[in-house]
């Protein structure tokens, strides 16, 4: 990130034409590099060397554009970052650094634009609310950036400021990304882009509504107040484009992934599992933006959680049908699982599939809960992804025959995203007993 926000260029490109032009540079750049690569092979360079360099430069350009455009472009890149753990190492390596950058930061807005937003939202005397305010942002994300400040009562706070035109940019970006889906497919082979894009689109209105976000954060903060494992920053004030929260100091999960000790990895993984399992029943909410940039490991061992713009409202807690299906899978009861899938709409009435293959398809979700201790890893996730993604495998074909009811789409994506973080952390622990402590009804019959 540049050291002086005052020296930044213009504001985030807001017009459809300007943003489209930037995104079109991605396939054009890839085509140019491909042509250059062919020429270099003709003069004797190794095709493996040429391809590796094309991959690296494509990653650099792709995520640089996504980060600079912010909006839906960067949000899409952040969503992709969670799936990095599932990629083969030779593919993932060139992208890992650029994906990590998207989890934590992006080029910031000019200081004059920040001040303009604050004046519009808090009044021309906006500085009266702060004892001090740092013009250089501490983090720049997809639809807003965060500044560290001291509130007028002395509390250290995080001031989240929404980019001007963020809502319009989100819609424009997602429309364009759909046009260029095949380019992203080259970066993330095997990942279905259409469901991911549709899910991102459905979250647009919520994520740009800071008052809506503040309500979710206040609920979480109240429920987890004084909790020994989870820390939620309290809301200080909110307007349409500015959200002020108490500052949460800690080590970003991306740093724990990159260079944390095994003890830190295990602790972060278990606390993340605890938050994932408990929040629907305790808060009636499911944090729906699981990427490492939204979590911190505090010095006291608690897991700090940030960014509540995307939350699934679950007033009745974790859905009972999903608990029942999970129990059938843990019991290895393929018949009950199949019947449950039929009853709850996961298999349509006119579709017939082998119950045993349905059970086999769910192994990635239940294997960590079958043993006393389980160690997540990139290798395990790659193996599972290949097993259910290889069209030659009968199990993989089940995925195309199953139906995911609309009310479970977000829960499914959050579960997969959280599993991706576990694997990036390479966390090890007793995830089975952790789940059973909150959902005793899913305990296998022979446990």
Give residue limits of the domains in the chain.
Answer: 8-104+167-204, 111-165+206-246, 320-442
Ordered DSSP codes for 332-371: T-HHHHHHHHHHTTSS-TT----HHHHHHHTHHHHGGGTS
Q: For residue 387, name the pLDDT band (cuts at 50, 70, 90).
A: confident
Q: For residue 291, name the pLDDT band (cuts at 50, 70, 90).
A: confident
Taking the C-alpha atoms of residue 273 and residue 50, their distance in angstroms, rounded to an integer, is 41
3-state helix, strand, coil in the chain (%, to 5): 60, 10, 30
- What pLDDT digit, counting tens, does each position of 322-337 carry? 999 999 999 999 999 9
Q: For residue 363, name the pLDDT band (cuts at 50, 70, 90).
A: confident
Q: Which pLDDT does position 353 carry in this prediction?
A: 86
- What pLDDT digit, counting tens, does each position of 236-250 carry? 999 999 999 999 999
By the 8 A CB rule, do 11 and 113 touch?
Answer: yes
Which residues touch 354 (CB under 8 Å, ≥6 apart)? 394, 398
Q: Which residue has the higher pLDDT, 191 or 7?
A: 191
Q: Which fold has domain 111-165+206-246?
A: Phosphorylase Kinase; domain 1 (3.30.200)
Q: For residue 428, name the pLDDT band (cuts at 50, 70, 90).
A: very high
Token pair listed for 344: 């709850």
Question: Which of 356, 376, 360, 359 is closest to 368 using CA atoms?
Answer: 376
Taking the C-alpha atoms of residue 294 and residue 248, their distance in angstroms, rounded to an integer, is 11
- What pLDDT digit, counting tens, does each position of 100-154 carry? 554 444 567 789 999 999 999 999 999 999 999 999 999 876 678 899 999 999 9
Partners of residue 159 on adjacent β-strands: 147, 244
Question: Which of 316, 192, 326 is closest to 341 using CA atoms?
Answer: 326
pTM of the model: 0.74
Taking the C-alpha atoms of residue 110 and residue 319, their distance in angstroms, rounded to an integer, is 45
Cα→Cα distances 179→23, 59, 67, 194, 261, Å: 10, 19, 19, 11, 42
C-beta atoms surrounding 314 within 10 Å: 18
Which helix (H) or strand (E) segment holds residue 444: the answer is none
Which helix (H) or strand (E) segment holds residue 238: the answer is strand 235-238
């Amino acid at each position: 990130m540049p050291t002086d926000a005052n020296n930044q260029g213009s504001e985030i490109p807001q017009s459809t034409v300007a943003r489209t032009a930037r995104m079109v540079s991605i396939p054009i750049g890839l085509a140019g590099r491909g042509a250059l690569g062919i020429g270099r092979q003709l003069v004797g360079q190794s095709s493996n060397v040429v391809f590796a360099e094309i991959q690296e430069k494509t990653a650099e350009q792709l995520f640089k554009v996504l980060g600079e455009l912010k909006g839906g472009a960067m949000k899409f890149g952040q969503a992709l970052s969670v799936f990095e753990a599932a990629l083969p190492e030779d593919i993932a390596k060139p992208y890992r650094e650029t994906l990590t950058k998207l989890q934590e930061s992006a080029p910031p807005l000019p200081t004059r634009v920040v001040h303009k937003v604050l004046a519009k939202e808090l009044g021309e005397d906006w500085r009266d609310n702060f004892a001090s305010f740092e013009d250089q942002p501490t983090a720049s994300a997809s639809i807003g950036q965060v500044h560290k400040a001291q509130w007028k009562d002395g509390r250290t706070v995080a001031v989240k400021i929404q980019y001007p035109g963020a809502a319009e940019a989100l819609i424009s970006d997602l429309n364009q990304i759909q046009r260029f889906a095949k380019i992203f497919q080259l970066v993330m082979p095997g990942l279905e882009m259409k469901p991911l894009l549709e899910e991102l689109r459905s979250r647009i209105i919520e994520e740009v509504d800071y008052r809506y976000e503040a309500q979710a954060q206040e609920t979480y903060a109240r429920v987890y107040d004084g909790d020994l494992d989870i820390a939620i920053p309290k809301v200080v004030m909110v307007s349409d484009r500015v959200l002020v929260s108490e500052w949460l100091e800690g080590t970003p999960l991306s740093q724990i992934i990159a260079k944390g000790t095994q003890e830190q990895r295990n602790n972060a993984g278990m606390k993340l599992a605890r938050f994932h399992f408990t929040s629907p029943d305790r808060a009636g909410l499911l944090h729906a933006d699981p990427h490492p940039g939204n979590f911190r490991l505090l010095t006291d061992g608690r897991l700090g959680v940030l960014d509540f713009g995307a939350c699934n409202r679950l007033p009745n807690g974790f859905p009972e049908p999903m608990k029942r299906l999970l129990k059938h899978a843990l019991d290895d009861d393929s018949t009950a699982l199949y019947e449950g899938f039929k009853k709850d709409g996961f298999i349509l009435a006119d579709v017939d599939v082998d119950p045993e293959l349905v059970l086999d398809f769910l192994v990635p979700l239940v294997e960590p809960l079958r043993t006393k201790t389980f160690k997540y890893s990139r290798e395990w996730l790659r193996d599972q992804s290949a097993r259910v993604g290889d069209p030659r495998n009968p199990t993989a074909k089940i995925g195309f025959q199953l139906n995911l009811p609309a009310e479970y789409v977000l829960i499914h994506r959050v579960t997969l995203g959280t599993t991706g973080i576990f694997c990036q952390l390479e966390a090890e622990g007793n995830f089975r007993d952790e789940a059973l402590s909150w959902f005793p009804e899913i305990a296998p019959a022979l446990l």
